[in-house]
Structures are given as structure tokens and as C-alpha cells.
Copies of this chain bind each other. A is one copy, B any other.
Amino acid sequence: MERVYNFSAGPSMLPLEVLEKAQAEMLCYGESGMSVMEMSHRSKDFMDILAGAEASLRKLMNIPDNYKVLFMQGGASTQFAAVPLNLLSERKCADYIVSGQFSKKAATEAKKYADVAIAASSGGANTTFSTIPETTRADFRPDADYVHICFNNTIYGTKFHYIPDTGNIPLVADMSSCILSEPIDVSKFALIYAGAQKNVAPAGVTIVIVRSDLIGNADPKTPAMLDYKLMAENDSMYNTPPCWCIYMAKLVFDWLLSIGGLEEMKRRNERKASLLYDYLDDQHYYTTNVDKKCRSLMNVVFFTGDAELDAKFAKEAAAAGLKNLKGHRSVGGMRASIYNCMPYEGVEKLVKFMKKFAEDNPKLTL
């Protein structure tokens, strides 16, 4: 069976050369005589993998020294609770910008612990999260313990086109679906977190990059495994970490460094996304409802305008080796997730398929 182009919103494609390396050393890592999956997390081999993963990530993202890097478990959804549990002061007051389903979920979870205000939202009765709300400092409560955003909205195909100015209020960003897709100024954020399964590694590890001064104030009822202080003090090894996922993450980080880091990754991602957006802008068969300035580099949502045609598209595309193009159930249409590891050729093949499909399936009403 040939490998396909997998446009899944996550988990998603990994670089073939990373998979091949992992496959080659799967039964025996280096001189260890065992698989990374079988290795004591306290062994020198694994400690080197963990330290190497952190070093490579720091280099890639140019993470300042006053930030800790944690490898945690439970995905972004666990961070939805960990963030308020760790960052709230006695005021217990947090502001959320809602730009999609995940930021909404994050705000809902935070309500268990905090007085949550929706500082801005692009949702609502007649809107579809097709844009990102503009904000100014005045939109945030001066006594908020933090402001939370979701930087890229996987479901709707939008991305923050600016970094909100929150003044002295710590800015927290869920970057699950855009981390490592382009350079970002980490110092503009107090905390960045990301589930690994889109741009980093197989599902099962969550990256948390947190400014050191924000660590150590967790609510006394915080589960130990969600306490950033405990995780930081134990170098993410308070208990057995998800070793295989961390190993895969390291291979992906090293692959990113080998191709030229995030500048080069951004160039490639922009080239891929442009190919698709330029085509969409240049025809009338497919529509896309996303505000142009907020277009995601990672997730491109489009529609034929006919649910049956959409279904036919996804089915025929899959048969042609272009898998998982069906849009999210809450949105419909199609979604092409073109994360870091989707090759340019995959998008080329998709655009070619889109053109052919439009020709073969004329819409009667047009």
C-alpha cells in the first residue's frame, strides 16, 4: 500500500524520514539493546532524548531562559484546567477571547475555578467564527489574572493575525494547531501550550512553555500532575513521561532544524497555503468564508455549497489518495489541514483534484 496525502486535522502527517528513522531503531535504539518504548525513563539514553528534545525546541523557538519547557500529558484539554489552577491569584479572575470551539471549551472549563469574562468573541447567533475579534488593551479587565486565546482555530481555519496587547496581564495561548509553523516571539506570551498531534509528534504529549515567575502559585487542590511547579522541579519526570512521544517529538524538532528551522518552515507553509488560497480566490465553484486577514496557514476550509457534492468530493478525493478532507461536523464542507509535514506536492495534487472535480460536477444552479 502506498502512503497517501493525509489532510487530517490531527493527528496528522509526520515526515517520512522521521518515521523511517524511528522504524529503523524501533527494536534497538543505539547501543541500548532495546526499544525506546522499553527504556527506563531514568536511563541515560532516555534522559539524553528528553534533554535533547528540550534543547532542540528551545533552539527552534528561540525560547528565552526565563521560560520553562514542560512535557506533560492529557492534551490541550487538560491545560484548559491546568492554566487557571496554576495562574489564578486570589482574585480568581480570567479573561478569554473566544474565536472558536476550543477557546470556548477552555473558557467553560476555567469557569470551574474563576470568574471568567469573555473579553471578545467572533461567535454568536449569526456568526460562524469566520474571523478573529480585534481587541485593544481596554477590552481586558485590569485585574484579570491572565488573558487566554487560541492562536489558530483548527475547525474554522482562522488564525490570530496579531498578538493581543494585554499590557501587564499575562497572555496565554493554545497553539496546538500552529506551534512550530512559523517563528513566534515567545516573550510576548506568558504561557504557550500545545498538544503534539498536529505539528509535533503522535498524540500523547503536551508542550507547555511557561514564564518562570508564573510557576509556584498553584491552587492547593491542583492535582499533582497538573502542577507546573512539580513538573518543572522534576524536569517533566515527576512520574514516567510519555517517552515514545517525546522521542518522536525530538526527531521532528531535529528534522525542523535540519531543514532550516522555523523561517524555512514558514516559507514552505506560506507557499503551500498560497497555492490553495490563490486557487480559491481565482474561481467561483468553491467558496471559503474566512476573513482574508485571519486565514490560517494550517487549516483551509472550503465548500461547494451543496452538502451532497461536499460528501462526493471527500469520497472521491480519498479514493485518489487525498484523505480526510471532510470538514468538521459543526461546519460541514471540506477542510484541508496542511500542517508542517504535508508536502507541497500534496497541496498541488489537491488543487489539481479540485479543478477536475469542478469540471466533472457542474452545479446546475450556477
Contacts and interface: CB of A to CB of B under 8 A. Distances in A.
Interface stretch (A52-60, A195-203, A266-274, A286-294): A195-203
A4 interface: yes
A26 B23 contact: yes
A80 interface: yes
A348 B195 CA distance: 44
Nearest to A34: B6
A284 interface: no
Interface string A312-353: 000000000101100000000000000000000000000000
Interface residues on A, range: 35 or more
Given A202-B244, A223-B223, A323 B33 contact: yes
A314 to B, nearest CB: 13
Contacts of A238: 77
A9 B202 contact: no
A210 to B, nearest CB: 17
A38 B8 contact: yes
Interface residues of chain A: helix, strand, loop or mixed (majority): loop
Contacts of A240: 10-11, 75, 195, 197, 203
Interface in A55-93: 73-78, 80-82, 85
A245 B38 CA distance: 12
A224 B81 contact: yes
A1 B28 CA distance: 7
Contacts of A239: 74-77, 195
Interface centre among A30, A85, A204 (most CB of B within 10 A): A204
Interface stretch (A13-21, A157-165, A296-304): A13-21
Contact of A203 (B26, B28, B221, B241): B241
Nearest to A206: B73
A14 B31 contact: no
A283 to B, nearest CB: 28
Nearest to A30: B1
B26 A12 contact: no
Interface stretch (A39-47, A123-131, A184-192, A356-364): A39-47
Contacts of A41: 11, 203
A107 B83 CA distance: 25
Contacts of A243: 11, 197, 202-204
A13 B34 contact: yes
A245 B242 contact: yes
A27 interface: yes
Interface string A196-229: 0100011111000000000000001101111000
Given A33-B321, A204-B204, A39 B11 contact: yes
Given A6-B33, A112-B221, A74 B77 contact: no
A113 interface: yes
A61 to B, nearest CB: 22
B43 A8 contact: yes
A238 B11 CA distance: 14
A224 B6 contact: no
Contacts of A31: 1
A33 B6 CA distance: 9
Given A1-B28, A9-B40, 14 more contacts: A1-B33, A6-B33, A6-B34, A14-B38, A19-B27, A20-B27, A23-B23, A23-B27, A40-B324, A77-B238, A109-B224, A202-B244, A203-B242, A223-B223
